[in-house]
Amino acid sequence: MKPLLSIRDLKVHFPIRSGLFGRDLRVVKAVDGVDLDIGEGESVALVGESGCGKSTFGAAILGMQIPTSGRILFDGEEVRHTEAKTRKRLARDIQTVFQDPVSALNPKMSIGESIAEPLAIHGADKAERDRRVAELLGLVGLHPEHATRQPSAFSGGQRQRIVIARALALRPKLLILDEPVSALDVSIRSQILNLLLELQRRFGLSYLLISHDLSVVRHFADRVAVMYLGRLVETGPTDIVFSRPVHPYTEALLSAVPLPDPVAQRARKRIVLSGDLPSPANPPKGCAFVTRCPLAEEICRHTPPPLVDMGGGQMAACHVRAPMGQKMKVNAP
Ligand code: ADP
Ligand code: MG
């Protein structure tokens, strides 16, 4: 598959001042060396606990955060958000859907005006905008006659449909979906996810789905990337990662996802991680997961594990689970 988006060794570090008069300068390594490809028409899920750097990663792709280092390639071209030409192009090709559809829509504008806004910015005339707004409302399962209503007339799920319609207005290639159903009632989450899948098939869209909830990801993403403290610890095809996770962190996350089969559910051990996510301003040396890992060995305390090929398209960064031939030599510091 031809990659639409290629991320190479992306880092986003935030300098923060603390202590008396802000004399201590520390660095929060929100994203700390991530490689990720998203193919044309592919959906990739980025998962991990809250605070592990997922939104910062998405924001860096969008140019809402300036990367500290690394490369972003879109459609084969290096992305430099400082260039007006790049910004204009990406404003069309990459769109976002965030968690909260209430704050995403201007309460003073009719939903038709909100959806037409990106079209107007790109120079569509009134007739063209009206036609496209009606078409987009139909695509997301809403009545085109409702275009004149205010957002407050709609439920949370309907508002997220409106946000999705607006995201599609300029016929983008990639959608960054940051927790798109987390604010919605459980009963309507799958409706929105199914709508997104249907739109993807129809228009060949690529998705980056950001989620702390693995149950959202299972039937949605082709591939999954598991993030921990700013780094990827495991990547692979969703069905493989779900059926045989390699990294103990992935195992722990998956053990919290209910299984459809009650017998399998009863037989399964729930792995509860001890302790909180360490501060990204002061991460453990060695493997970032070492403070919570049930398998940790000596090497994990001082040497960060690289992502290694586990076969079948799966990669994992774990000293203990690395295949024999790919284990690092233990050399104490
Ligand atoms: P997630 O989306 O996975 O919950 P975020 O990307 O929002 O995680 O945050 C990752 C880390 O970076 C957190 O520790 C967060 O506090 C920190 N962070 C995010 N944005 C900023 C910022 N603008 N300045 C300083 N720290 C930030
Ligand atoms: Mg987030």
- Axis crossing angle, helix 111-121 with helix 126-139, rounded to the nearest 10: 120
- For ligand 2, the distance from its centroid to the CA atom of residue 76, given in whole angstroms, is 27
273 occurs within a structural domain: yes
The pick from 49, 56, 62 for probing ligand 1's pocket by mutation, whose C-beta has the most ligand atoms within 8 angstroms, reads 56
pTM: 0.94
Query: Is residue 257 included in any domain, yes or no?
Result: yes
Nearest CA, atom 7, ligand 1: 55
Domain assignment present for residue 147? The answer is: no
Instruction: List the domain range (segments joined by +) for residue 280.
Output: 245-323
Q: How far apart are CA 282 and CA 98, in angstroms?
A: 29
Residue 294 is assigned to a structural domain of this protein: yes
Q: Which ligand is nearest to the CA of 48?
A: 1
pLDDT at 331 (0 to 100): 56
Mean pLDDT of 311-332: 87
Q: Give yes or no for residue 84 having a pLDDT over 90.
A: no
Over residues 127-134, the mean pLDDT reads 97
Q: How far apart are CA 158 and CA 228, in angstroms?
A: 33
Q: Is there a domain that residue 128 lies in?
A: no
Judge whether 250 lies within some domain. yes
For ligand 2, the distance from its centroid to the CA atom of residue 281, given in whole angstroms, is 17
- What residue ranges in the chain does DSSP mark as E strands? 3-18, 24-39, 43-47, 69-74, 77-78, 94-97, 174-178, 206-211, 223-228, 231-237, 308-311, 314-316
Residue whose Cα lies nearest atom 21 of ligand 1: it is 14
Do the strands 24-39 and 206-211 form a parallel or antiparallel pair, or are they unpaired?
A: unpaired
Rounded CA-CA distance 133/265 in Å is 45
In this prediction, residue 289 carries a pLDDT of 96
Percent of the chain with pLDDT over 70: 99
Neighbours of 94 (CB within 10 A): 24
* Domain count within the chain: 1
In a domain, residue 139? The reply is no
Residue 89 is inside which H or E element, if any?
A: helix 84-93
Residue 285 maps to a domain: yes
| CA pair distance 286, 212, nearest whole angstrom | 24
211 lines ligand 1 (CB under 6 A): no
